[in-house]
Structure 1
Amino acid sequence: MNPKDIPYGSVKIVEGRHAGRIGYYDDEDTEFDEDINWDEIPEDVEVEGRPVAIVYFGDFFVASGYFVIPLEHLRPVTTDDLMRRREELHSLCGPFARFKNPELDLDAEEKNCYLAELHYVDTVLVERMIEARYRNTSHGAKVFISHSSRDKTFARWIGTDLKAAGHTPWLDEWDIHVGESIPAKISSGLREADFVVVVLSEHAVSSQWVEREWHAKYWNEVAQGRIHVLPALYKDCEIPELLKTKRYADFRNNYNDGLEDLLVAIDRLHDIGGQSQK
């Protein structure tokens, strides 16, 4: 993603002395070389500076202040980023941090700074989960997430990040309510979906439910000559024969790389599908 296209909001710092931290990208500015002598530059000469972001590590009213960070050091945050940073912050300023690490030595200012960031990370996580589960979007692709019950947490993460990217995920625990027919709702979800993301793991490939779900969309794909089934390799497993010729989004070593590949595929294929229907 072009740094200038990063939307305001939650971001992860990926380079520099703040690498690994998560904050709120509030505004952008331009930073110039301090050695520039403005008196010697003619008025008709345009001087380009380095684009920078104004970032708060915490809620605007709680953070100790803002930081000026080069725009190219930022990227949009994912659920995986939030969960990992939450664990790191708990090890730094959580109630049992000193017990787990007796050598930890933070002054009051450092601890308050980390606590503000932890509060922000927790807030963003809750907001993203609520957004993913309860709010509908009118644009983007409809994506059915086929997964084993043992991979439920990972499926939630993908669903949350798909929603954050503007798509509409279908997840059984979000879309099947008490009293409703499970087979009927799954059938409806598959029928209306633009894509089925198959979460592949040893548990998934041994699940008849998962096999039935993606098989239904796979044969639609064959009949229509348009891609509908997108494999997402979560853990090492024997990939089903019908999916072996497909490139998969690989989440095994790096969640964010796998998510980026999946989102790029959905965006591209959804645009192609939309154009073909016109």
Structure 2
Amino acid sequence: MKKVFISYAREDCKVARKLYDDLKAAGTEPWMDEENLLVGQKWKDGVRKAISESDYFLALISSTAVEKKGYFQSELNKALKELEEMPPDEIYILPVRIDECVPKHEMLQDLHWADLFPSYESGLRKILMTIGHTRKTTQPAAEVPGSSERVKKPDDKKVRQGDTIIINAGGDVNFAKDRAEASIVKDSKNSRPPAKLRLFSG
């Protein structure tokens, strides 16, 4: 599970929290001070440790953040030092803008940005694509018991009494008389001979 440190200015906390929730729902492990720092923990040590252990440093950039002195700039400087020690083709810092602003750090200007405006969803998709995750928007496909292979849903035709089901070697399923159709992904390890099943009434 990819760890993503979220750095933001306090004025942008609402956007940071939404991003935190969406990244978590997508299967990543986001880190945000308001969510992950423990009561009584030395927060400076906690932040420093979280940055060093993260796979990605997400810098939430706004007009406020680029002009403000404080913890956001401090965290960003730590991340830039981490980036300097990495191979030139490695992606670590994810600059994400929430409004029309220009980062002042020269190293950030060399990186491709993601924008959460005018479309938040479009920006989020770009972030998840970089991290290697996708949002879970659909139910998983049905599975054959005891297997992880997908099953293609049959057409709306009904299987009737007297139909013949032909199961070929490799697991292909077909219904005679063109009254129903179905198929499952072929199992290359299945060496059983073809079998025929005839449906009878109970």
Could you state the TM-score of these two structures normalised by the residue count of structure 2?
0.61
What's the % identity of the aligned pairs?
30
Q: Decide which of 225, 234, 244 is 2:98's aligned counterpart.
A: 234
Residues 32-111 of structure 1: matches in 2 within 5 Å?
A: none
Contact kept in structure 2, 1:218 and 1:228, CA below 8 Å = no
SS at 2:112 equivalent: coil
| 1:223 partnered with 2:88 | no
Question: 1:196 and 2:61 equivalent?
Answer: no
**Paired residues of 1:233 and 1:250 also in contact (CA < 8 A):** yes
Question: Which runs of 5 or more structure 1 residues have no equivalent in the other structure?
Answer: 1-139, 269-278
Deviations along 1:89-130, one digit per CA (max 9) or x if unpaired, are xxxxxxxxxxxxxxxxxxxxxxxxxxxxxxxxxxxxxxxxxx
8 Å CA contact 2:52–2:82 kept in 1: the answer is no
- Whether the aligned pair in 1 keeps the contact of 2:3 and 2:29 (CA below 8 Å) is yes
Match of 1:261 among 106, 126, 130: 126
RMSD of Structure 2 on Structure 1 (CA): 1.4
What is aligned with 1:209?
Answer: 71
Map Cα deviations across residues 120-164 of structure 1 (whole Å, 9 max, x no partner).
xxxxxxxxxxxxxxxxxxxx2100000001100100111111111
Report how far residue 180 of structure 1 moved: 1.4
Q: Which has the higher helix share?
A: 1
CA offset at residue 220 of structure 1? 1.9
Using CA pairs below 8 Å that are at least 6 residues apart, which structure has the higher relative contact order? Answer: 2
**8 Å CA contact retained: 1:148, 1:203:** yes
Gaps of 5+ in 2: 134-202
Q: CA deviation at 1:212?
A: 1.7
Once the two structures are TM-superposed, the CA of residue 178 in structure 1 deviates from its matched residue by 2.1
Task: State the alpha-carbon separation in 1 of the partners of residues 82 and 39 from structure 2.
Answer: 30
Amino acid at match of 1:207: K
Distance 1:167-1:229 versus aligned 2 partners, 3 A rule = same
Larger radius of gyration: 2
- Mapped to 1, the partners of 2:69 and 2:102 lie a distance apart of 13
The alignment partner of 1:157 has SS state of helix
Per the alignment, residue 120 of structure 1 pairs with: none
Opposite residue 255 of structure 1, the aligned amino acid is Y
Q: Deviations over 1:161-214 (max 9, x none)?
A: 111111000000011122211111111111111111000002211233112212
- In the TM superposition, what is the alpha-carbon distance from 1:242 to its structure 2 partner? 1.9
> TM-score under structure 1 normalisation?
0.45
Give the number of aligned pairs. 129
Decide whether the 8 Å contact of 1:148 with 1:207 is kept in 2.
no
The answer (yes or no) to whether the contact 2:65–2:72 under 8 Å persists in 1 is yes
Q: Is the CA contact (8 Å cut-off) linking 1:196 and 1:217 kept in structure 2?
A: yes
Deviations 1:47-95 (A, max 9, x none): xxxxxxxxxxxxxxxxxxxxxxxxxxxxxxxxxxxxxxxxxxxxxxxxx
